[in-house]
Amino acid sequence: MWARFLAKSDIQDGARILQVGAGVGYYTAILSHLAGPDGSIFAYEIDLELAKRAALNLAGYNNVTVRHGNAATGLVDEGPFDAVVAFAGVTHIPNVWSGHLAPKAKLLLPLTGIMGSGAMILAQPDSDGFCAKTVGRCGFYHCSGARDDKLAVEIDEMFANAGRLEDWRFRITGGDDTSGFVTFLYEK
Ligand SMILES: C[S@@+](CC[C@H](N)C(=O)[O-])C[C@H]1O[C@@H](n2cnc3c(N)ncnc32)[C@H](O)[C@@H]1O
């Protein structure tokens, strides 16, 4: 699943990547190879024990920095990021990510509903939000700090139409909710 999703994100040599949810670091190592020696991976893990294990597992990876913390609510100022890859499900794009993006950044995010199922999306910033497309069905644990129950219900309603789970284009624009970008969706 991740091989397919990461191939679609087309991460370039030298990319600065924010990883949300490093776990024990397996996919951090893969991101490290994709970005190459000139790239940098900033791998956040909210669970202290997992963050410690990831740091140990990735000790030999010179382009990786493991950080213990909630990546949805606060980041060390290490951007702008060329890519954000989340390994936990969001209902919106938190402001802390949108504020740390390079102009053509790519965000690979699981957009998930109440029970954690939904679609992986690939989003890119534009003048007033993000253009996005779905790249396949997925199910994930929730991303702490990037969830809103009302949006989760809307996401479930949206993906009740299974035809929208892959290759469906839509926009994400800012709403009046200061916690992040909310999803307003329409087919192009
Ligand atoms: C599916 S697991 C990731 C597995 C990981 N990619 C690996 O290779 O082991 C999702 C992880 O996201 C972490 N997580 C959830 N919300 C987070 C947040 N806001 N910031 C950082 N980590 C978060 C969880 O603690 C969990 O370890």
Which residues, in sequence order, are CB contacts of 86 under 8 Å at separation 6+? Answer: 19, 20, 21, 107, 108, 109, 110, 143, 146
Give the lowest-confidence range in 8-12, 49-53, 101-105: 8-12
The stretch 7-12 carries a mean pLDDT of 89
The stretch 47-67 carries a mean pLDDT of 98
pLDDT bucket at 188, cuts 50 / 70 / 90: very low
Indicate whether 70 pLDDT > 50. yes
Going by alpha carbons, the residue nearest to atom 2 of ligand 1 is 23
Going by alpha carbons, the residue nearest to atom 27 of ligand 1 is 23
pLDDT of residue 177: 55
Higher pLDDT, 174 or 16: 16
Sign (positive or negative) of CA dihedral 99, 101, 103, 108: negative
Regarding the beta carbon of 184 and ligand 1, being less than 6 Å apart is answered: no
pLDDT bucket at 8, cuts 50 / 70 / 90: confident
Regarding the beta carbon of 145 and ligand 1, being less than 6 Å apart is answered: yes
The stretch 3-31 carries a mean pLDDT of 95
- Can you tell me the distance from the alpha carbon of 146 to that of 132, in angstroms, rounded to the nearest whole number? 17
pLDDT, one tens digit per residue, over 112-143 is: 999 999 999 999 998 878 999 999 999 999 99
pLDDT of residue 147: 94
pLDDT of residue 135: 96
pLDDT, one tens digit per residue, over 150-165 is: 889 989 999 999 999 9
The stretch 39-44 carries a mean pLDDT of 98
| Percent of the chain clearing pLDDT 70 (strictly above) | 93
Distance 120 CA to ligand 1 centre (A): 15
Q: Give the CATH number of domain 2-183; options: 3.40.50.150, 1.20.120.520, 1.10.3720.10, 3.40.50.300.
A: 3.40.50.150
pLDDT bucket at 185, cuts 50 / 70 / 90: low
The stretch 100-109 carries a mean pLDDT of 96
Q: Would you list the domain boundaries of the chain?
A: 2-183
pLDDT of residue 122: 97
Regarding the beta carbon of 82 and ligand 1, being less than 6 Å apart is answered: no
Q: For residue 130, which phi and psi values (nearest 5 degrees)?
A: -140, 140
The total of other beta-carbon atoms located within 10 Å of residue 52's CB is 14
Model pTM? 0.94
